[in-house]
Each structure stands twice: as C-alpha cells, then as structure tokens.
Structure 1
Amino acid sequence: MNIEEFKREVIEYSKTIGIDKIGFTSANMFEELKQRLITQKELGYQSGFEESDIEKRVAPIKLLPKASSIISIALAYPSKMKNAPKSTKEERRGIFCRASWGQDYHDVLRDRLNKLEMFLKEKVPDIQVKSMVDTGELSDRAVAERAGIGWSGKNCSVITHEFGSYVYLGEMITNFPFQPDTPMEDQCGSCTKCLDVCPTGALVQGGQLDSSKCIAFLTQTKGFLPEEYRTKIGNRIYGCDTCQTVCPVNKGKDFHLHPEMEPDPEIAKPKLKPILTISNRDFKEKFGHISGSWRGKKPLQRNAILALAHFKDTTAIDDLIKVMHEDSRPVIRGTAAWAIGKIGEVSAAHELQKAYEKEEDSQVKEEITKGLSFLLTKK
C-alpha cells in the first residue's frame, strides 16, 4: 500500500463525515510536554480531572504497544448564539460556555472517530487503533499542536487559522505509519490580551495555567467556592470563555457546521431562579445531553446562586430564603445565605437569624454569619 496515497484518502474521507481539520503526527514520546506536566504538578497547578499517570499522558506506546502514528481531528463549534434571550430584572439568566452548547462534544467527536476507525479497518483489516476525546490519557492540545492542527496559544488553547480556538479536539493512535505533518509555529507574538483579562489571574504566563484559579475549573467544583472567587464568577453557570473572546485571532470567527452543536438558547442561557429547585429528573431531561452537566446539578445550582448575588437580584430573595431553610445540602444552604447578604435586602436579616439558630453545620453557620455581616453594614 502506498502510504502517502492512503493518507490522502483518509483526509478526503474525513471531509465527508464532518471532520473540519485533520492532522498526522508520530507516536513518539512527548518529551517537552512531560517536563511541563512535571512542573505543573510540582507547582500544584493541576485540576485533578486529568490522568494522574504522567507517563501515560506522554507515551502513546503505553496506550497502544505498537503505536506508530497519531491522527488528530478538530471540529469547529459556534461562537455566537442565534436568538439569544435577554436577561431582565425579573428573570436574570446565566450562561454556559460555548464548549457546552449543543450536544455533548464527547459524543460528537466519538461519532466522527468511530466512523474514521471503521474506514481505516475496512482499508487495512489488521490495523490497530485507540481513540480518545478529552477524558483520554493523551493531551489533545499537545497532539493537535504536533500534528499541525494549530499552535498552542498563550490562553492554553489550540488556535487554528481557519476557526480560531473554537474547536473541539480528538485523536486516534494507530500502528499504521502515516507520515507526520509539520507542527505550526507559535503565532501569538507579543500579544498578551488573554493574560491581561483573565478574571482570576489563572493564566500565570503565556501557555501556563493554574487550574485551581481558573473559572472554568472552579465552576465544576462541588464544595463551597473560595470567597475570593465568588464575585469573579459573574453569571457563568459552567465554564469561562474570556480568554477566547478577547483573542484577536477569534475575531469574527463563528461557524455553524454541525447541527448537533447548535445551542438551545433556553439551555445555553437559562433562567437562574428555576435552577435553584430543579428536580433531578427535570435536570437530566433539560441539561443531561450537554457537556456542562457531567458533574451533576449541585455545582450549577451553587453557581446560579452566585449569579443571582452578582446581579443583586432582589426578586430572588424569597427563592434563596426557601433554599437556605429547606435544601438538604450544606453547600447550597450556605451559599444561599451568603448570597442573601450580598444582595443586600436588609429585611431578610431575620430569616438569616432564624436559619442560624436551627443550623447544625458549622460551615453553613459561618456563611450565614457572613450574610448577616453584609446586611449590618448596610443599616
């Protein structure tokens, strides 16, 4: 079989199944990445969601013993929402990041990778492959960068010429010796816009992220959000796009190439108050198909409470009081108490006092005390 000719066939086939970019690289060790990951671990910058075994993240041969090459794919997702609903004083809305619009991207990319696998196996019956998307061991970004899909930006995203950084990435390790493509040179230059506007300073320097400070990570945690970040969340329910929206390369980039990626405006930009008391069944029915639901409803409810505090939404006081008194989860009760204080409705002080008297959880009592202190300073 002519290897170059087969590579061209694979590229042509990829276009017919909705893969927007495809690149090829060797299955050699990712030496530079290994050093970066070791440094990240030493500095405590990891999120805890990634594969803990660094060797598996940098050595494709540990995942497929006869690994020879890796195919990297990219699918462009929309950056603008059609018919986006407006937030009003009576009905404030939150926002999911663009990477959580439409159907869960893990499912979309797996569909494309499965089709590509079938094509490869049809042409080369004894071929061995191992595919992964995001939650796999390899670093999607490191593979995509080496395969020439784009360059690794200062905002820690792979940036492509065609689609900017609004791309989902996936890869397939194979024992077939595809010829590698040329990695793309860094093209961020002296631009530091993403570093300058990061709400929490999580972008320590170009290409280095302290995940523990990143809003995208913080919105996925399940406990009490550290107080220094609560006012930084804004109305974000899940994820953060700031370092992408300010990127000059992303200006004007908006692609609607895949129907399953199109957002439902009422899901991508939902009303906040109904989220506070949504049932498990309704949550699964409404949000279960998007990637932002993977941690369950609790973090999203906590974030919705913080968003109501951000808006100082006095129309939500009764809802928050109900949650503070009745919710079984300390994080939700405590965050609601904090939010009531932040909104600043002095008449709610007696409800906070009532809650404090019956509350048994020490952390919740601490949050109620904070809420009361906010109100006392307003008197």
Structure 2
Amino acid sequence: MPRTRTLQPVLAGVVLAVVGFASSFAVVLAGLRAVGADPRQAASGLLVLCLTMGVTAIALGLRYRIPLSIAWSTPGAALLVAVGPQHSDYREALGAFLTTGALLLAAGLSGRFARLLHAIPAPLAAAMLAGVLLPLCLAPVQAVAQLPRQAVPVVAVWAVLLRYARRWAVPGALLTAVAAILLTGPRGRSAASLWPVLTAQTPTFSAGAVIGIAVPLFIVTMASQNIAGMSMLASYGYRPPLRPVLATTGIATMAGAPFGGHAVNLAAITAALAAGPDAHPDPRRRWIASVTGGVVYIALGLSTGLTLSLITDSPPLLIETVAGLALLGTLGSAVHSAVQDSGQRDAAVVTLVVTASGIAPFGIGAALWGLLAGLAFRAFFGGTPQPAPTAEPEREPAAR
C-alpha cells in the first residue's frame, strides 16, 4: 500500500500530460499552420510549448509545493485558426505571441490588468470563446463532405468511444486519423528526422497583429485558462499566488515566442487530475503530480519530429477535424455560460455571432470586434434581465 501511494501522484502526472497533449495538440498545429507556419515551424512551436510548459510546471511545483499544472492555451490556438485568414504573416504572429507574453508578465507585475479583465462580463468572455471555437468545430462536418474516406472513420470512432469510453474518444479519433494518413496519404513522403528541431524566426510587429491576435489571445488565455485554473485549484482548497504564476507564465511565453510558442498558462480542465483526490489522498503530496506532468511534457515534446513526419503530407482539414472534435465539449460549456444569464443573453449572442463571422475591418480580428460589439450592446441596452415575452403557455410551452 505505501508503494502504491508513492506511485499514485506520479501516475496521475503521467495521465495528466498524456491526456493534455493527445487531446489538443492537433489544435495547436492547426492554429500555427493557420497563421503561416510551415510544417517544420509548427512542429517547432509544439516542441517549445512542451519544453516551456514542462520547465514552468517543475519550477512552480517545486517552489510552492502546490499542484500548479501548466498547459498551452487551447482556446488561444483555436483563436489562431479563426484569425488565420486575416493574419497569415508568420513573423507578425510571432510578434503577437511575444506581446501576449508581455501582457501576461504585466498582469503578474501589476494587479490592474487582472482587475481590468475581471471587469469584462463573464457571459461575454464565454461568448467570445464560443465564437472562436465554432468555425473550428465545423471542420468535422466539412471534412466528412470533402474527405469522406479519411474523415468518416475518424468521426465514427470518436462517436462510438464517446458513447462507451468517453475519455478515450479524442485519443481514439487521433489514432484513427493517423491510420488514415498512413493508409491514404502519398507514398512519396519526404523523409523527416524523428528528432525535433527548434526553428527560430525574428518576430516582427504590426498594429493589426497586435490588436487582432495578441489582445484577444491574452483575453481568451486569461479568462478561459488562468482564471478558470485558479478557480479549479480553489475548489480543491489551494490558494496559489496569482501574480507570480502569471509573471512566470508570461516569461515562459516570451521565451517560446520566437520558436512558435503562442501562450503558456495555468491548466484548467486537466488541473483536476493533479489537484483532486485521485492524485493522492493527502493534498500536501499532490504537487508531485504536476511536477511529474512537467517531466512527461518535456518527453512528449521530443516526439514532435515524428508528429511532423505524419502531418507533412496530410490534409490540414483532417487535422482540424480532430481538433474540432476535441473542442466540442468546450464549445458546449462556453455556449451554456454565455446564455444562462437572461439579462446578458442578447449581448452575449451579439458577441458570439460577430466573433464567429470572421470579419477583420482595419486588420483587426473578429474576436476583438465581437467583444467590443457585445460591450457596446450591453452598455446601450443595459445588463438587467429583460422581461420575457408573454405567450400562452398551452400554445408556446417553455423549452427546458
């Protein structure tokens, strides 16, 4: 029994990293490709994210003895897919990533940024996230129509596993996609090294990329990852120091930006795997799980060369299909959070539809326009609950 208890947080950390990597690395690759990265640069971004996440998780876990799980910003990667058509200059995207890291660092050094973010109504932040995710979650539908031989088995495996073994649905879809790539892809694939290579580019800065990528990326990462991660830890009785954590993740993001890392932050969903009782009965021992997860992330990063060899000749839509399936649950949660407050539902819907529209006036991405539209609607009409329309109950029953 003592040996089992000793291994328990280690095994929890292994599961945390494998689940976090396998469930969303396709989203990261799709996001980097959307903003102009070639396959080698995308693999470099995936590698540097794994390295910075691993080092940050180990450092924070050893420093504070709290299960501070670190992850990449999955909603942020989905944002990159959404803004890619308007911002396809990769070096400008790297400049936006560097700016996002600077904003995270500033939020850690000054509490004003965090207070400003808290001032954004939660339903509108959730609606912006839903609008960002919606186009990507449409990819499985488009792929089934355009790539039926490859996409139909992926969706079918995902659906069956979702019904009978939910936690394996996304990994199963990923393995099926890999099999489809191997079986139906071109035979003359160029040989790629199985060892990953970091490829650095000099970031450049443009107002359009900073406003259209960096600002929405910062908001989405803070609202959907850092604040959600802090809330998750608080639910298990942990009170980590927010400002040092933000500053550390900001520095890690800035360090990884020239190599393609878009954002490093607190884990939200997978944080429960390290912070919950399944990691260890004693809350004081659960930090071992997050540190182990950091070690495993570094090891997984070393597999990105193999990942590159698989995706080089694969249709981008097939990778986006796996990403879209992985994010359906997140989309559902975001929509629910956006519309459950009847007083702010209309403003949230405005935010969602403008964000999902993909417009980019003046080179500014739709995510920020959606948030601004929702705030303007809310300011004009007010945030108080609107009276429900009168209707005869027997002729128009309320839907539940």
Q: Compare CA radii of gyration and give the structure with the larger one.
A: 1
Which one has a larger percent strand, Structure 1 or Structure 2? 1
Which one has a larger percent helix, Structure 1 or Structure 2? 2
| Same topology, TM > 0.5 | no
- Whose relative contact order is higher, 1 or 2, with alpha carbons under 8 Å and at least 6 apart? 2
Q: What is the TM-score when the length of structure 1 is the normalising length?
A: 0.25
